[in-house]
Amino acid sequence: MLDKKVKSIVLAAGKGTRMKSELPKVLHSIFNKPLLAYVLDAVNNTDYVDESFVIVGHEAERVESFVKTNYENAKCVLQYPQLGTGDAVNKATPYLKDFDGYVIVVCGDTPLITSETIKNFVEFHDNNHADLTVMSAIFENPKGLGRIIRDKNKKFIAIVEEKDATPEQKAVKEINAGVYCINWKTVSNAFGSLQNNNAQCEYYLTDIVKWAVGKNLVVQSYILDNNEEIFGINSKVQLAEATKILNKKTVTKLMEEGVQIVDPDTTFISPETTIGADTIILPNVYITGKNTIGKNCKIGPFAHIRDGATIGNNVRIGNFVEVKKSVIKDNTNVSHLSYIGDAELGSKVNIGAGTITANYNPITKVKSKTIIKDGANTGSNSVLVAPVTIEEHASVAAGSVITKNIEAYALAITRTPLKVFSNWVKGKIEQHSGGNK
């Protein structure tokens, strides 16, 4: 455990011009979870950080609304105008005036960074009694990235952005990963002395290294084992790449835990989803959000499971089935072409093909719950208009629209009587042809 308290500063003010979007870059999503949420969760899950300061700028109100809604221990700080990363961190200094601990600085567009890496990074900083530690990585092709510059004794002395680098410095393969751990009491004064005499006319956060070296402070670098963790998102292409990287990591972990994923290349599963051993995930399944799926299930193909699903053991979710914010208990089958939303299904329930839980009222904007109890079943093309309860072992006939609760062991049917008009088609054909066959 650390003796020092830890806070974080998350850089989330950028416009993200290359995203070609009105949506702030950090609110673009992977598996319906914003990039910023991945970073804040990684910081919080270290169990070291008690407070975060999110630096906002472009579309600040939208970013601040997301943070306020989802993170009680985070505060947004406005950077306007946006004069560089050094200026961004400096905006948080009034809130840290008397703070005596460590401050982590991370980028809000790096969703692949893990809490384990951040935790190891902070512990490395602490164990080495550093005043400033910079996370670095080795890249064979470091084009466009800031270089870690060392003196002839291999001592870390500066970070130089590529636009300001000499040809010799551009040949360096160790790059700045954009994550910092700062002993705030000894380094915070650096932010008031940063200069913007560079190609971008911005205040670079990287210049605090040169400042700390000039003050004879202890400056360290922590080299990442996995470069993918600092993959930054600046375009829709990179967003797709990050999604694939995260998904590959997730499905590989699940398969190592005993889940059978038939085609990992066409299966997408959010990292917040847990799946039990011997469950089979068929091709083209898409699972987003936080869900729990039990053992010995069969999901797909072409199934879509959204946030908030709890699925028991030995459950069958057929092809083209969508499940959202629902509980499905053991030994239940949800056949193809069905929608189960805001519902609770008991055990040994059978859902016929094309069954819909009509949970949303577009006028009141209210979503209501459907309850289907143990042993009940629905026929094909049934519509259950919530709020409604189907009691134990009740049966809903195919093609029925159910608007009232159905008692146990009852049959519910809402079909109009079948009428057959003999030769009706023949008459229409003759009428259309004028009696000519």
Residues belonging to the active site = 336
Closest CA to 89 of 72, 74, 73, 107: 107
Closest CA to 33 of 66, 74, 72, 11: 66
> Quick one: how many helices (H) and strands (E) in the chain?
9, 37
H/E stretch holding 431: helix 424-433
Residues found in the chain: 437
- Backbone phi and psi for residue 172, each to the nearest 5 degrees, phi listed first: -70, 135
HSE-up of residue 149 (Cα within 13 Å, Cβ side): 19
Judge whether 143 and 162 are in contact, CB under 8 Å: yes
Tokens standing for 230? 């600092």
Distance in angstroms (rounded) separating the CA atoms of residues 265 and 67: 33
Distance in angstroms (rounded) separating the CA atoms of residues 368 and 388: 8
Q: Are strands 292-293 and 310-311 parallel, antiparallel or unpaired?
A: parallel
Non-local (6+) Cβ contacts of 215 within 8 A are none
Judge whether 279 and 261 are in contact, CB under 8 Å: no
Distance in angstroms (rounded) separating the CA atoms of residues 267 and 125: 39
Q: The dihedral of CA 340, 346, 352, 353: what is its sign?
A: positive
The helix, strand and coil proportions of the chain, stated in percent and rounded to the nearest 5, come to 25, 30, 45
Q: Are strands 304-305 and 298-299 parallel, antiparallel or unpaired?
A: unpaired
- Backbone phi and psi for residue 20, each to the nearest 5 degrees, phi listed first: 55, 55
Judge whether 281 and 275 are in contact, CB under 8 Å: yes
Rg (CA), the chain: 29
Q: The dihedral of CA 311, 245, 41, 341: what is its sign?
A: negative
Region of 346 please: left (phi>0), alpha (psi -120 to 50) or beta.
Answer: beta
